[in-house]
Structure 1
Amino acid sequence: MRTQHPTEEQLHALRGVTMPVKDLVQRFGFPMRTYETVPLITKALNDAGLTTKPDFARCRREIAVTIVDLDDKDPEPIVEPAEGFQPTVGLQRQFLIGDLPSARGKLEFVGPDASLAAAVHIMRTGNYSQVPVIAGTSDLRGVVTWKSVARLLHMPKPAASLSDVMETSVEVAETHQQLFPRLPLINTKGFLLVRERDGVFSGIITTADIADWFHQGALPFFLVGEIEEKLRRVLAPIPSESIALLQPKNRKTGNIEDMMFGQYIILLDPDGRKPEHAKHANQNWSLLGWSTTDRVNFVRQLNLVREIRNRIAHFNAKPLSEADLDTLKRFVRILDDHLP
């Protein structure tokens, strides 16, 4: 990985400049954001007294960010994580509303002058539980749901209109906002309408979307986080000098918590990049005392995990295949066998 950053002078010259996230990342010599590159870019900016608005680590790569002074950064909201649902150390960014495909999917809605029959037709044909009522693209008037339609059974009016069944109290969130704090709300209400920063409604999130996304999208992040946390524990016997050997000159802490994921492989790989790496790798493996574990296969599987990890850290990655998920789960079981 290339880790040559722009000089402090060059970074200061960017103050006030606006550019897409992908361009900012490329200025640091990286092709994409990963768990390894995001902390490096953040540190280089912070060391120069700079940051980005909005936070480049949390935006889609096409979003434009502005380089600003560190003290000009928007304050982070204080969020109390739900009990029993806390991300592991492997997560380097918050999950956002816009990370769910349905938040930016094709939103079907009716205008305020539409008939009730038109709204019901959309719900029936699309197998939806609700349909928004929106004037233009951003003026929300309410939502029609099957529950509100069912109230017609108790109404004396023979010909009801859209306004007769429309619910006007609707929960709304924006794509750049955090997802986790809103999970209880989605669970209670059953759905959440989503709009972009410009106010245009872009999608809807339901409890079914959350369940599907968690399996396909969030689960890999949690598995990778679990792997990294357990990997650090099982590699604890490795001495600090072996770790420091792989760290940059200005960051030789000797702490395994400060290592990049790819460096875990070099710690154990018998075919190290340099002769001294291979020598230390042999000593490190011996110190672990894993007599019933095949070293070549362990390193190979660890490298597979690294490749999967880099893919999901790109933030625009497609959902992992079942084979990739199985690779992560298998490696978790291997690490469980070696935990103290």
Structure 2
Amino acid sequence: MSDSQWEPRVGPTQRTTYLLGGRRVRVSDLLRAGLLRPGARLRFVRRRVGETYHAEIIENGRIRLPDGQEFSSPSGAAMAAAGMRAVDGWLAWTVEENGRPLDALRQELLDRAAAGPPDEPGVEGFDRRVHQRLREARQRAEENQPEQFSVRELLSLWGAKDRGDQIGRIEDDLANHGLVTSPSFRKVTLDSTVRLVVASGDTDDSPAAAAGPVTVAGPADDLDDDPIGLTVGNLPSALGGLKHVAPNATFDEAITKMLLNGYSQLAVLNGPRNLRGAVTWQSIAHARHADPNAKLTDAIDPEAVAVRYDRELIDVLPDLRRGGYVFVRAEDNVVAGIVTTADVVQAYGEMAMPFFQIGELDRSLRRIITRRVDLDQVGKLCNRSVNSFDDLSMGDYLRVLDDTSVWSTLGWPLDRRTFIDRLHEIRHIRNDVMHFNPDPPPPDTIDKLRKVNSLLRHYGELA
């Protein structure tokens, strides 16, 4: 088939199946929409190093390099072609025929979906309000006026209160508009301020950089490899500001700042990015014991560690174990905060408590059902084959206990509907906890879990 004969494969019942709500746009979507054709040639120019790379779109929506390698994502192809660690391929690759970046075609696709009928097949879940808001944010980022919000305010655009099960949808919507947050909204606290900027893994070479918008290295389309664990920046003190002294400060100044702020250690900075070390009560005592005429420079511990805010917390634990604290560098390398062993104990404690409470709840509900319902009846109520009571999920507990005949056998002087409604709330809490949400649970979460467990301990003996 020649280029001139090619037509998009869009039938009467498949007009807009190129776009599904809640996922990232793919090259294959552009093909189905007629915005790109098989055989189209792509070009990736790195002006700073004077190199140009080529690729071709093949019929299944993959990108083929001259050496035969094929990739499903533009970023994967761009990184392999240029030997780069990170680059947003949607911004890097342009169509040779018309000079349009793949990103521009992606934006046209999204605009089409936004302009079409709300009930058009294929756009279920596509939020036109979010699309328009991010479209405006992209324009401001390209004008070097990036919008900034607290993470909490950003999440509210999607109706989310924390970084729970909607985080994938949020990142997909941002990626579809070529945006990331700076710093990463995953890796700081809910009240931290982030900017919406254009994504680029190589700001000197990308087409976006040539046009001048604010850019930042970030996840490249479907190649997001962000950690899912707790990061240093998720702790409130990590980027919460830092009291410090200069190397030529006096003991009196350092001691006064430590006493007024309740610190056991104090950063010694020679400029916001130059960490000389730290002074501690122990280092001050040692210096003065060794020499009554010692100066503050004699008490500086040069081994003080500074880590980036986006480091996974578990990787920093050895440093915390050795020194009891680490200083934290923000995205711009400024020493912006401190994390101590006490901060980590509190953070892991907040995360662990819901696990313990949910574990107790799970065991209590399973024990109650095991005592009152046979396995065959459980299978019928759950509408599936159940080989063991240990196979039951929270959803199964709800189905079983919501059955009026099962409820009557418990003999509890409780309202079934009210109890089941509370278990539905607990189910959502459980899902959030089990997805390792980095945000502390709402204040009433632990209280709800404790009260349900207390009730089950009391009435469970009657079952």
TM range, smaller chain: 0.5 to 0.7
| Residue of structure 1 in register with 2:253 after alignment | 118
Match for 2:271 among 122, 131, 136?
Answer: 136
Task: Describe the SS at the equivalent of 1:101.
Answer: coil
**Could you say if the C-alpha distance between residues 179 and 227 of structure 1 is closer, same or farther in structure 2, counting changes exceeding 3 Å?**
farther
C-alpha displacement of 1:124: 2.5
| Residue of structure 2 in register with 1:320 after alignment | 443
**Could you say if the C-alpha distance between residues 300 and 227 of structure 1 is closer, same or farther in structure 2, counting changes exceeding 3 Å?**
farther
| Mean Cα deviation higher: 94-103 or 329-338 | 329-338
| Residue of structure 2 in register with 1:331 after alignment | 452
Matches within 5 A, 1:57-96: 57-58=186-187, 62-63=193-194, 64=196, 66=199, 68-71=220-223, 73-74=224-225, 93-96=228-231
**Could you say if the C-alpha distance between residues 116 and 266 of structure 1 is closer, same or farther in structure 2, counting changes exceeding 3 Å?**
same
**Could you say if the C-alpha distance between residues 221 and 51 of structure 1 is closer, same or farther in structure 2, counting changes exceeding 3 Å?**
farther
Identity %: 24
Contact persistence 1:111–1:133 (CA under 8 A): yes
Contact persistence 2:328–2:336 (CA under 8 A): yes
* Counterpart Cα distance in 1 of 2:153 and 2:289: 59
**Could you say if the C-alpha distance between residues 37 and 286 of structure 1 is closer, same or farther in structure 2, counting changes exceeding 3 Å?**
farther
C-alpha displacement of 1:95: 1.5
C-alpha displacement of 1:143: 0.5
* Counterpart Cα distance in 1 of 2:293 and 2:165: 62
| Residue of structure 2 in register with 1:210 after alignment | 344
Q: Between the two structures, name the one with larger relative contact order (CA 8 Å, sep ≥ 6).
A: 1
C-alpha displacement of 1:204: 1.3
| Residue of structure 2 in register with 1:37 after alignment | 166
| Residue of structure 1 in register with 2:298 after alignment | 164
**Residue ranges of structure 1 left out of the alignment (5+ in a row):** 77-92, 244-254, 269-279
**Could you say if the C-alpha distance between residues 25 and 162 of structure 1 is closer, same or farther in structure 2, counting changes exceeding 3 Å?**
closer
C-alpha displacement of 1:137: 1.5
| Residue of structure 2 in register with 1:192 after alignment | 326
C-alpha displacement of 1:115: 1.4
| Residue of structure 1 in register with 2:120 after alignment | none
* Counterpart Cα distance in 1 of 2:383 and 2:172: 24
| Residue of structure 1 in register with 2:84 after alignment | none
**Residue ranges of structure 2 left out of the alignment (5+ in a row):** 1-19, 31-102, 111-137, 142-146, 200-218, 370-374, 385-390
Q: Deviations over 1:95-132 (max 9, x none)?
A: 12122222223311101121122112222232221111
Q: CA RMSD in A?
A: 4.9
| Residue of structure 2 in register with 1:299 after alignment | 420
* Counterpart Cα distance in 1 of 2:255 and 2:154: 47
* Counterpart Cα distance in 1 of 2:337 and 2:442: 19
* Counterpart Cα distance in 2 of 1:172 and 1:189: 11
- Output the amino acid matched with 2:252: A
Task: Describe the SS at the equivalent of 1:104.
Answer: coil
- Output the amino acid matched with 1:175: Y
* Counterpart Cα distance in 2 of 1:120 and 1:95: 33
Task: Describe the SS at the equivalent of 1:169.
Answer: coil
**Could you say if the C-alpha distance between residues 221 and 43 of structure 1 is closer, same or farther in structure 2, counting changes exceeding 3 Å?**
farther
* Counterpart Cα distance in 1 of 2:411 and 2:401: 18
C-alpha displacement of 1:223: 4.5
Count of aligned pairs: 284
